[in-house]
Amino acid sequence: MLSESEIAARWREVTARMAAALERAGRPSDACRLVLASKTQPAEAILAAYRAGARVFGENYVQEAIAKQASVGRLDGASWHLIGHLQSNKARLAAAHFDLIQSLDSVRTAAALARASARPGVRVLIEVNLGGEASKSGVAPDALAELLEKARDLVQIEGFMTIPPPGPQGAARHYFAALRNLRDRLATSAMPLRELSMGMTDDYEIAIEEGATIVRVGRAVFGER
């Protein structure tokens, strides 16, 4: 684990680079939030990031997150996002322990979340598999409209999330723009789909330039796992 001062310095660097990317894109300074991807990080690293200013933490696994939340205790102003795949049999636990679930990809899971909370009380993003990768979860772009229609009364859909396929520097821009265009096409006054969660350590600045409202960064702050 990096020292607390190193985590704080890296946090400041990431937030400064986010601010610069927002300025380049002509967007307001508060138009994008940073979710710290804290998978496998110990409680001490999360507390160091919190003391540096981090307020939103993203976890991949429900059980790991619950244990970690118990370890760090109550952090005033902090919130937790599920950024890993959610299986329907973990929906009740996820609904109780996360403020936003970024990885909804099926009606079955939406229905399980609805049963776990007052419908449509659970806040979600729909994960979109833009690259058609069999190794990744997420709904295909051409099935997105159908999932929106079937899940809209079960959960509170706030936008989309994506993880682009690996590629050379800058290749992710195409996928980020595609997600933004999908959102613009499918948004309505009743369901504005304001959130776009896209961009990680290697490409979060590009994502911000393409309209991200949430970026998920871990390694740039916590160092290599």
User: What residues make up the domain containing 48?
Assistant: 4-222
Nearest partner of 193 among 220, 170, 163, 213, judged by Cα: 213
What is the structure's pLDDT at 168?
A: 86
Q: Read off the CATH number of the domain in which 154 is found.
A: 3.20.20.10
CA atoms within 13 A on the CB side of 75: 22
pLDDT at residue number 170: 85
Whether residue 212 contacts residue 197, with contact meaning beta carbons closer than 8 Å, is answered with yes
Please enumerate in sequence order all residues whose Cβ is within 8 A of that of 28, keeping only pairs 6 or more positions apart, or say none: 22
Q: What is the pLDDT tens value at each position of the chain, 225 positions in all? A: 999 999 999 999 999 999 999 999 999 999 999 999 999 999 999 999 999 999 999 999 999 999 999 999 999 999 999 999 999 999 999 999 999 999 999 999 999 999 998 878 999 999 999 999 988 999 999 999 999 999 999 999 999 999 999 988 789 999 999 999 999 999 999 999 999 999 999 999 999 999 999 999 999 999 987
Read off the pTM: 0.96
| Kind and range of the H or E run holding 208 | helix 204-209
In the chain, the number of structural domains is 1
